[in-house]
Amino acid sequence: MQGLSDSIHIWGVGVIQQTQRTFQGQSQLMLLLSHFGDPRFAFTLYFPAAYYLHRSIGVRVLWVAAISEWLNAVCKWILCGERPYWWVHECGLYAEGEVPQLNQYSITCETGPGSPSGHAMITSAVWYILVSDLIHYKEVQSVLFKCVLWSVYGLMMSAVCVSRLFIATHFPHQVIAGVLVGIILAKLFNSVSTSAMTLRTYLVASTVLSAVAVLTYCLVFAFGLDPFWSVSLALKRCALRDWVHLDTTLFYSLIRDISSLLGLGFGLWLDKRLTGNGKSPFRPLVHLPLALAVTLASESLKFPQDNMMLFYALGFLKHFFVVCVVVAGVSRVNL
């Protein structure tokens, strides 16, 4: 098995080197595409946009974003996937002076394990929901229009995956696995009714997600493995220390998922009990930009990283209240 794994990684390094040579003059475009597939956009861009264009789609987008990112974090803890930018130095397969040269960029040094790709998995799931629900709720009958939508989906996902290879943060098999698992999750979630969910549903779901995450962490630790092994390698092999950020850790992803689901549950609960002008036909024209302003502005909030517990606690509160404000606050604004 180890021999097969090494062969896959060696082949992947070759693909990454070829990708970097092919697109060496388009590095800014590759960074933009990778940034475009960042999982955080599922919470700060796709969720508020979908919610104020079609409430049911918005709720489903946040659910699938949270569940797919949570599952991605759990899988990464279990699979312990390598990342190219540190693997070439740590694998011991190359003689001194013959280690393959992989270019690093400002967003290369993610701190979690690499398999499966979170960018590919979460983005493929969210975009699949957006496309499939658009076709369903708008009752699209045109085969040509459906082909165009799914072609755009495939093209954009391919671009995101290539960009992840270009910056040397993932191997090819990791992005492929991410896309496939994301699509499967989205298809499964399309059969789940979110309209009947109550606040209790959100509380139970958040509790279960937290419990499973903690149990996975404890099992990894019990088997003598270091749950933070990938952080150490990121710090060791990243070209610049400033490129390593705590908000790329698995813990921060889990906190974002759980707090966002709780925020959605409380937001929907409050929205049913508050009064305000939320029924105007011009609602999307005003409320959508306002909701996006809230979520995108929240990304400018940077917390001190010298105290990890405080950093994660503030992150939890930020995502909880931002989702609450988007769901129950923005819609109260009178036009």
Dump pLDDT digits (tens) for 177-202: 999 999 999 999 998 888 889 999 99
DSSP characters for 204-270? HHHHHHHHHHHHHHHHHHHTT--TTHHHHHHHHH-S-GGG--GGGSHHHHHHHHHHHHHHHHHHHHH
Residue 37 token pair: 């597939």
Predicted structure pTM score: 0.93
Eight-state DSSP code of residue 131: H
Number of domains in the chain: 1
In the annotation, is 119 catalytic? Answer: yes
Give dist(CA 40, CA 75) in Å, integer: 18
Alpha carbon 17 to its chain centroid, in Å, reads: 25
Residue-level pLDDT at 273: 84
Dump pLDDT digits (tens) for 294-333: 999 998 888 887 888 898 899 999 999 999 999 988 877 7
Residue-level pLDDT at 217: 86
Write out residues in the chain with pLDDT < 70, as ranges. 1, 275-283, 334-335
Give dist(CA 249, CA 233) in Å, integer: 13
Contact 276, 331 (CB under 8 A): yes
In the annotation, is 9 catalytic? Answer: no
Residue-level pLDDT at 275: 62
Domain span including residue 186: 2-332
Catalytic residue among 119, 173, 287, 319: 119
Contact 205, 70 (CB under 8 A): no
Catalytic residue among 9, 170, 173, 319: 170
Give dist(CA 244, CA 113) in Å, integer: 14
Residue-level pLDDT at 140: 85
Eight-state DSSP code of residue 6: H
